[in-house]
């Protein structure tokens, strides 16, 4: 359901900041619209029990995604609309060295527990004409000239690394479902523009160039390969249905964040230049860990800086005052996912 926020309130959500419960349930609430949405969700379920109902709501109305029997409106999910906006604003206005991982984490986990959220890194708003896709913001002009897998262009290498990190951390920490806007899985370079008077009814940009991802000589194929591996891991380990992510550590100075979800340990380094040897990560559960996803693999456009056969034993814990830790080699601009050996 598109534009739900504009329906829920008499002020349509325009120029309004949502904070306390009075901003949701006071006189600004449009009771007729809320009743309509409850009736609509009831009707959908009568005709199509397997349907998923998703609300495009930025206000965070409590109960929107709870059953009507509980006093909710009946939706299954709401879109995490602030997440793609955060990524675009960060890419537009901040140097890599200035990224605030605390703000990033807040954006990813700032949602109502018990109400499921769809996380996504790129929205249709960015991909439509007038803005640029996530990949286009990252690669800029290099997306047309330096996308060969053997091309050593520094800007293209940076963009490839960050595109992977952005998608992985959004998927793994941002919600209970993950949405991919068509083409973002392989870094589609261009916007979508449908035939209209302003473009002389052209169909040129009313397309997605799937052939780019099918060419093994281009970085697009590497971005797609990472996306497939990321989603396969999420499915196998049921990452999105195993409860919210738990923060393990944010290292603001070194720009490394670590968190746990579904029994997996995610270590993401946004550091643009420095790699870290013997880097300590606090862990909830002591044991032996193995690497199950590594964004630095060559088939993902990485530099193959890690030996994936290594098994990592935690240090500390076991009755000591110190929490168990993993000691890792963390290359710059990489995402590493570890699983405890069963």
- Domain range list for the chain: 4-79, 246-340
- 246-251 and 177-178 strand pairing: unpaired
DSSP secondary structure of 301-313 = T----S-TT-EEE
Other CB atoms within a 10 A radius of the CB of residue 133 amount to 23
Residue 320 has pLDDT above 60, yes or no: no
User: Is the whole-model pTM more than 0.85?
Assistant: yes
* Cα–Cα distance measured from residue 131 to residue 289, given in angstroms and rounded to the nearest whole number: 42
Q: Which positions ≥6 away from 234 have C-beta within 8 Å?
A: 171, 172, 178, 240
* Lowest pLDDT segment from 108-112, 320-324, 336-340: 320-324
2 as an active site residue: the answer is: yes
pLDDT (tens digit per residue) in 108-167: 999 988 999 999 999 988 888 677 899 999 999 999 999 999 998 999 999 999 999 999
pLDDT at position 150 is 94
CATH among 3.20.20.70, 2.60.40.1180, 3.40.50.1100, 3.30.420.40 for 246-340: 2.60.40.1180
> Scanning the structure block, which residue is given the tokens 């060969």?
148
Determine what percent of the chain is predicted with pLDDT higher than 90.
85
Average pLDDT rounded to a whole number, residues 28-54: 96
Packing angle, helices 154-173 and 219-237, rounded to 10: 20
pLDDT at position 258 is 98
Residue 289 has pLDDT above 70, yes or no: yes
21: confidence class by pLDDT, cuts 50, 70, 90: confident
- The alpha-carbon radius of gyration of the chain (Å, integer) is 22
56 as an active site residue: the answer is: yes
pLDDT at position 319 is 57
Average pLDDT rounded to a whole number, residues 18-46: 92
Catalytic residue among 2, 22, 97, 236: 2
* Cα–Cα distance measured from residue 122 to residue 113, given in angstroms and rounded to the nearest whole number: 23
- Asked whether 139 and 145 are in contact (CB, 8 A), the reply is no
Residue 272 has pLDDT above 70, yes or no: yes
pLDDT at position 336 is 99
- Asked whether 178 and 240 are in contact (CB, 8 A), the reply is yes
15: confidence class by pLDDT, cuts 50, 70, 90: confident
Residue 99 has pLDDT above 90, yes or no: yes
Q: Exposure pattern of 144-179 as b/e (b: 16+ CB <10 Å)?
A: eebbebeeebeebbbbbbbbbbbbbbbbbbbbbbbb
pLDDT (tens digit per residue) in 186-218: 999 888 899 999 999 999 999 999 999 999 999
Catalytic residue among 28, 56, 96, 151: 56
If you average pLDDT over every residue of the chain, what do you get?
94
């Amino acid at each position: 359901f598109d534009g739900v926020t504009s329906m829920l309130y008499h002020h349509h959500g325009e120029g309004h900041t949502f904070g306390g419960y009075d901003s949701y349930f006071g006189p600004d609430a449009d009771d007729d619209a809320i009743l309509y949405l409850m009736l609509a969700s009831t009707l959908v379920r009568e005709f199509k029990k397997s349907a998923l109902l998703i609300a495009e709501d930025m206000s965070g109305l409590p109960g929107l995604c709870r059953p009507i029997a509980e006093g909710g409106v009946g939706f299954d999910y709401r879109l995490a609309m602030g997440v793609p906006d955060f990524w675009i604003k960060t890419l537009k206005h901040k140097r890599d060295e200035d990224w605030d991982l605390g703000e990033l984490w807040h954006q990813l986990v700032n949602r109502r527990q018990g109400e499921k959220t769809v996380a996504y890194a790129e929205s249709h708003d960015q991909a439509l004409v007038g803005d640029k896709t996530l990949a286009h913001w990252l690669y800029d002009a290099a997306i047309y000239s330096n996308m060969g897998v053997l091309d050593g262009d520094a800007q293209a290498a940076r963009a490839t690394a960050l595109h992977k990190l952005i998608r992985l951390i959004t998927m793994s920490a941002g919600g209970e479902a993950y949405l991919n806007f068509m083409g973002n899985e392989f870094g589609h370079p261009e916007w979508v523009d449908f035939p209209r008077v302003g473009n002389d009814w052209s169909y040129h940009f009313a397309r997605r160039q799937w052939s780019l991802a099918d060419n093994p000589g281009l970085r697009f194929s590497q971005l797609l390969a990472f996306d497939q591996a990321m989603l396969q891991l999420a499915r196998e380990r049921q990452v999105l249905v195993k409860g919210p992510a738990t923060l393990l550590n944010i290292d603001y100075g070194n720009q490394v964040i670590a968190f746990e979800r579904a029994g997996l340990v995610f270590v993401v380094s946004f550091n643009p230049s420095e790699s870290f040897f013997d880097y300590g990560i606090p862990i909830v559960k002591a044991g032996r860990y193995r690497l199950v996803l590594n964004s630095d693999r060559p088939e993902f456009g990485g530099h193959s800086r890690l030996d994936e056969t290594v098994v990592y034993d935690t240090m500390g814990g076991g009755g000591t005052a110190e929490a168990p830790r993993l000691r890792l080699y963390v290359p710059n601009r990489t995402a590493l996912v570890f699983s405890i050996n069963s």
